[in-house]
Amino acid sequence: MAEGPWPDELDLSRPNGARVYDHLLGGAHNFEVDRDHARRLLAANPDQQFGAHANRSFLRRVVQWCLARGVRQFLDLGSGIPTVGNVHEIALAPDPSVRVAYVDCDPIAVAHSASIVADLDTVTVTRADLTDAAGVLGADSVAGLLAFDEPVAVLAVACLHFVIGDAERFMSVYRDRLAPGSVLAISHGSDDVEDPDHAARMRAVADSFADTASPVTLRSRAEVRGLLGDFTVADPGVVDITDWPQAGLAPRAAATWAAVGVKGG
């Protein structure tokens, strides 16, 4: 089921980050304006498609890691457009009772997600702005599905770099709402990396999004760590997504930090 206002018209004059990401992953829920931007994006950084797939692989590993810890509830912020390897596909395979609440502000993402999970009683889709944490947490399709007095995994994978301004302000609201044992998992693009060429390519990517519906903010490794607040950082720490939870999972780095934290008692 889905909750949220549905617009009569879509703005297809500018590319959208979720739809560009969908195209990079080989999805079909995008438009020519998004595909054209993806081509310009790859010209600026040929590694960007690799990075999109690396983010998807990181998401899969995080969900499996949470399940192994006994976490059976997921709040997927900026969940994007459905592609193979969605959270509910990964999480429900071993346990159909797992609950998943998807949240995205893009009407295309919400519409396609809702159509895919329409027959699933333990999965909801909410159209909302993730920066409005109180609104997200208070939505019937989130609050009515997830029990926040039990551990919840909040996933913010490849979405916070599309947020301008003080992300800590609203991320603290999510952290405060979570019960002990909950998990916050973040992946975030950055130019704060050792390879200066890769850093320059990431800045070129950010520049390419400047005039789109989804401008990009690159944050440092320390800033990404700060979004976990006082949560205990899971091993191996804040590392490239290709090195979480262990090094050597991909042939090269993705210039995207992985930060996974667990709330203490």
Residues 164 and 102: their CA atoms lie apart, in Å, by 21
DSSP-derived pairing of the beta strands 256-262 and 183-189:
antiparallel
pTM as predicted: 0.90
Task: State pLDDT tens for residues 126-147.
Answer: 999 999 999 999 999 999 999 9
Shortest CA distance to 231 belongs to which of 260, 261, 186?
A: 261
Output the pLDDT for position 7: 47
pLDDT digits (tens, 9 = 90+) for 58-109: 999 999 999 999 999 999 999 987 776 789 999 999 999 999 999 999 888 8
45 φ/ψ angles, rounded to the nearest 5 degrees: -145, 95
> What b/e sequence results for 22-32 when a residue is b if at least 16 CB atoms lie within 10 Å of its CB, and e otherwise?
bbbbebebbee
Q: In CATH terms, is domain 2-262 a member of 3.40.50.150?
A: yes
CB 258 within 8 A of CB 186: yes
Alpha-carbon distance 69 to 247, whole Å?
21
> Are 20 and 40 a contacting pair, CB within 8 Å?
no
What whole-number distance in Å separates Cα of residue 78 and Cα of residue 162?
9
Q: What is the DSSP letter of 243?
A: G
* Residues above pLDDT 90, as percent of the chain: 66
Domain boundaries, the chain: 2-262
What integer pLDDT is reported at residue 10 of this predicted model?
Answer: 61
Regions of the chain where pLDDT drops below 50: 1, 4-8
